[in-house]
């Protein structure tokens, strides 16, 4: 679906009149452009004097054109605002909330398990109670303000009415002030200081990671495969005949939107056909999806691909159970390495040639992980913000940990494992929802090393709807806490260095998986609003504004084109803290939603370049001519029509926790006006609006 706002769209035309005709023949759009500044500067120097008048006219035309564009931007704000208001009206009128419709997202159409609504409602109830209390206190403070009880910034000194306590209200308010000063402010200030300390420690960790990334770039450090003679292997010349046996696994579950492109991409890998086997591990419970995937596998078998279809009757253990079942096949013993691609991943033909050679003459290497790239990163505001986050994760976190520690969390896909490393680590276990991180931790404890290749990319999709993204983040943040509880004794007993134990326990798990969501939600969504109603406890302005701005700037450096979205990114990260905090608590204390597993919904996006690359390399198209691009598009369209016959209708919905927090933050911003706290007011206001937009599901895919 088209995004509600097309922010950050690229402009590829310049200097030449362009006519763009729309599909409707009754309409056309004509855009006229004058010469660009570069065209003026590149004027022939010999004719510069003669053409001064002409250049002046050209410059005038450029200035007028820029003014016209600025006016166009201003005029486009009105339709955008109208569209926003209309979307809000439709959302409120529909009355669909996450509490009513979450049960539709799990099960057969989306994944393995659904969230426990009873456990989920506890957190929402807490927020509602806190919101009700804040509204009551706001009314109480407003009445007190007009009765003469004032706080003045910056020291928040209390100014009482001139003639003492006049009535019962003044008596109650005076007692409330004493309760705040004696009982509420000290513990709140202590909690504030504790969160600030955690915030600073996490910021220092983030800064160290960025410095490590800068050092890698400055020194041009890069993992290079080595040959038997100690020289560097040439990845373009067949790696000196290094073509070991590789098993390729594609686990999927009810992902009928993407199975074709992933299977096609894997079948076109440039590797000797006799040296790799493809396993399509289908856990779908939808008979139509099963038959479609099976037909696709049979089609590629007829074309000569070495590919098998596997379907489990007993679907236990989620993705880990699926992979574990496949590894138990008798023929797996003939293979040395296993490569895993999720259903939406499309590796390039040279993927194996760029990753597998790193294992040659490196017996300690257990995993080679490639970077992800995204076909839909500019689809809407939500995908742009996700791209910022994941760009930092891969280029900074994964790369730095891979270079300096030889350890990082396996990303679950687009990686090559040495099968011996998997077996020594105990194989795939179904005990958590982050089986990829689980196997990586256990392999590291057994002494295996990992390599991250930042220059090897594998295309995939980002979730385009907030619903899908929220469920993905819940799984990604509850699973690590489950794993931490389970593997902590093993880490303590492991025969590895003290530094590696410290890194795994305090940095990998506690600081980056527990502390980050804890302080983000507690400090900015709970404590900051509370300090507006208990002004005796203060949060410094540099905590609210300056440090977060610096950290957001560092996070956005790996994706410099996204710099215009730095403010939305900062606000959105704080908005997502409610989901991450809820997931972290669920995983840490094994609450009902900790084992929620809903497969992230895909849209099946693939660029024309991907289709052309498959056409230009007809590796298994024997006895037939290369298909036409339009014919392939028509075939894909027909398949999509088949798949949508029984597809459930999608809806945008309202998210009650986010809306409740929006009201809480906006209420606190109104209270901050009474104390004239400028930075705190603006932060609470914009953060409240951010929660409101997310709660109304206005930043992702919009379904009419």
Tell me the three state secondary structure of residue 160: coil
Give the span between the Cα atoms of 510 and 620, in whole angstroms. Answer: 49
Which tokens go with 408? 């990082």
Residue among 98, 102, 109, 283 flagged as catalytic: 283
**6, 382 in Cβ contact below 8 A?**
no
Kind plus residue range of the DSSP H or E element containing 459? strand 449-460
Give the span between the Cα atoms of 117 and 103, in whole angstroms. Answer: 8
Which residue's structure tokens are 């880490």?
491
Give the span between the Cα atoms of 704 and 649, in whole angstroms. Answer: 11
Say which DSSP state 394 is in. I
Task: Classify residue 305 by burial, with Cβ atoms within 10 Å: 0-12, 13-18, 19+.
Answer: buried
As beta bridge partners, residue 249 has 279, 340
The two beta strands, 276-282 and 246-252, are parallel
Kind plus residue range of the DSSP H or E element containing 499? helix 498-502
Tell me the three state secondary structure of residue 533: helix
Q: Name the residue among 362, 368, 465, 357 with its Cα closest to residue 414.
A: 368
> Cα 12 to the chain's mean position, in Å?
27
Kind plus residue range of the DSSP H or E element containing 455? strand 449-460
Residue among 98, 102, 344, 436 flagged as catalytic: 436
Give the span between the Cα atoms of 175 and 177, in whole angstroms. Answer: 5
Tell me the three state secondary structure of residue 517: helix
Tell me the three state secondary structure of residue 356: helix
Tell me the three state secondary structure of residue 112: coil
Cα 12-15-16 angle, rounded to 5 deg: 90
Where on the phi/psi map is residue 36: left (φ > 0), alpha (ψ -120 to 50), or beta? beta
363 catalytic? Reply is no
Kind plus residue range of the DSSP H or E element containing 640? helix 629-643
Q: Name the residue among 599, 462, 654, 603 with its Cα closest to residue 1.
A: 603
436 catalytic? Reply is yes
Which tokens go with 395? 């280029």
Task: Give the contacts of 91 (CB within 8 A, at least 6 positions apart).
Answer: 652, 653, 654, 696, 697, 698
Residues 536, 542, 544, 549: what is their CA dihedral angle, to the nearest 10 degrees? 180
Peptide bond into 49 cis (omega under 30): no
Which tokens go with 550? 């610096």
Cα 618-620-622 angle, rounded to 5 deg: 90
Q: How many CB atoms lie within 10 A of CB 350?
A: 14
Provide the annotated active-site residues.
283, 436
């Amino acid at each position: 679906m088209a995004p509600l706002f097309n922010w950050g769209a690229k402009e590829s035309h310049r200097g030449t009149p362009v006519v763009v005709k729309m599909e409707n023949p009754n309409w056309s759009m004509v855009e006229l452009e004058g010469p660009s500044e570069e065209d003026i500067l590149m004027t022939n120097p010999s004719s510069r004097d003669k053409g001064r008048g002409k250049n002046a006219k050209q410059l005038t035309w450029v200035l007028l054109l820029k003014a016209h564009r600025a006016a166009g931007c201003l005029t486009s704000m009105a339709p955008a605002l109208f569209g926003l208001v209309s979307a809000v009206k439709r959302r409120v009128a529909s009355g669909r909330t996450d509490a009513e419709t979450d049960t539709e997202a799990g099960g057969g159409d989306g994944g393995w398990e659904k969230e426990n609504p009873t456990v989920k409602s506890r957190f929402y109830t807490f927020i509602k109670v806190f919101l009700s209390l804040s509204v009551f206190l706001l009314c109480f403070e407003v009445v007190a303000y007009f009765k003469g009880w004032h706080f003045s910034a910056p020291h928040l000194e209390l100014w009482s009415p001139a003639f003492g306590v006049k009535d019962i209200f003044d008596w109650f308010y005076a007692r409330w002030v004493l309760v705040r000063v004696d009982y509420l402010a000290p513990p709140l200030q202590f909690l504030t200081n504790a969160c600030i300390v955690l915030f600073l420690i996490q910021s220092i960790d983030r800064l160290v990671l960025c410095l490590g990334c800068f050092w890698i770039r400055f020194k041009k450090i890069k993992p290079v495969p080595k040959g038997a003679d100690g020289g560097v292997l040439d990845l373009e010349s067949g790696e000196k005949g290094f073509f070991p046996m590789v098993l390729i696994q594609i686990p999927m579950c009810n992902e009928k939107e993407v199975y074709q492109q992933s299977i096609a991409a894997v079948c076109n890998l440039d590797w000797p056909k006799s040296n790799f086997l493809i396993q399509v591990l289908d856990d779908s419970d939808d008979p139509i999806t099963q038959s479609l995937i099976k037909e696709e596998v049979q089609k590629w078998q007829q074309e000569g691909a070495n590919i098998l279809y596997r379907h489990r009757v007993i679907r236990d253990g989620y993705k880990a159970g699926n992979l574990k079942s496949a590894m138990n096949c008798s023929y797996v013993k003939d293979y040395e390495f296993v490569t895993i691609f999720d259903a939406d991943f499309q590796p390039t033909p040279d993927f194996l040639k760029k990753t597998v050679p790193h294992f040659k003459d490196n017996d300690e290497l257990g995993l080679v992980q490639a970077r992800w790239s995204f076909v839909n990163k500019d689809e809407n505001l939500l995908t742009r913000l996700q791209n910022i986050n994941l760009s930092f994760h891969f280029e900074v976190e994964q790369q730095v940990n891979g270079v300096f520690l030889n350890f990082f969390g396996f990303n679950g896909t687009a990686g090559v494992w040495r099968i011996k490393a998997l077996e020594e680590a105990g194989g795939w276990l179904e005990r958590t929802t982050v089986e990829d991180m689980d196997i990586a931790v256990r392999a590291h404890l057994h002494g295996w090393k990992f390599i991250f290749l930042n220059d090897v990319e594998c295309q995939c999709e980002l979730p385009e709807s907030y619903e899908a993204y929220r469920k993905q983040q819940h799984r990604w943040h509850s699973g690590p806490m489950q794993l931490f509880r389970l593997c902590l004794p093993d880490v303590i007993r492991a025969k590895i260095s003290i530094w590696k134990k410290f890194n795994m326990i305090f940095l990998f798990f506690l600081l980056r998986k527990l502390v980050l969501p804890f302080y983000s939600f507690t400090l900015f969504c709970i404590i900051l609003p509370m300090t507006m109603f208990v002004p005796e406890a203060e949060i410094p302005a540099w905590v609210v504004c300056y440090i977060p701005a610096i950290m957001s700037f560092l996070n956005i450096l790996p994706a410099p084109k996204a710099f215009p979205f730095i403010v939305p990114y900062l606000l959105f990260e704080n908005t997502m803290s409610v989901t991450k905090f809820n997931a972290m608590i669920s995983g840490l204390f094994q609450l009902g939603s900790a084992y929620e597993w809903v497969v992230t919904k895909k849209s099946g996006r693939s660029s024309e370049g991907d289709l052309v690359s498959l056409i230009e390399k007809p590796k298994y198209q024997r006895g037939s001519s290369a298909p036409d691009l339009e014919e392939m598009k028509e075939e894909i369209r027909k398949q999509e029509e088949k798949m949508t016959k029984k597809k459930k209708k999608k809806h945008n919905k309202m998210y009650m926790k986010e809306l409740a927090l929006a009201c809480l933050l906006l209420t606190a911003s109104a209270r901050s006006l009474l104390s004239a706290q400028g930075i705190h007011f603006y932060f609470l206001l914009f953060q409240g609006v951010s929660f409101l937009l997310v709660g109304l599901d206005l930043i992702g895919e919009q379904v009419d």
